[in-house]
Amino acid sequence: MRRRSKNIGKTIILLFLIIILILGGLMWFDYLGIIRAKTFFSPIYSLLGLQAQSATASKNTLPLEADLDNDRYKKRLESLDLRKEELDLREAEIAQAEALNLQTAQELEERRLSQEQREIAFNNTLSLIHISEPTRRSAYLVCRLL
């Protein structure tokens, strides 16, 4: 007998929770505009001191669609402007890197020309030493030049 009273208590509590969930779901669907239960819930709203939602869905969606199209167009323009700024920044970085590369190439060319002139001068000096008779002094000069 005692076991049966426990089951009846659990059943009543579960039924009460189911009713609360159903009413909550109906209120939520009414709030979302999926169903129309305002007349059913108006006494509950007045009891809680709330005002029933009175907004209705717009029947003419053309202005809304036009606004969406305008918003999308503006977003695309903003993204294109942002992309243009990024590309301009990247182009400036590339130009700066090219200028640095050009400067380095000029320095290397100057070094190469300087090295060639030094080699020519060294070869001329060696040829002068070889023309004269080989002496101990010419060997000393060659070693000193190196």
Query: How many whole angstroms separate alpha carbon 67 and alpha carbon 74?
Result: 10
Range with the poorest average pLDDT among 2-11, 64-73, 123-132: 123-132
Residue 83 has pLDDT above 80, yes or no: yes
Model confidence at 135, pLDDT cuts 50, 70, 90, reads low
Q: Find, among 122, 129, 127, the residue nearest to 146 by Cα.
A: 122
CA 21 to chain centre: 43
Supply the pTM of this predicted model.
0.39
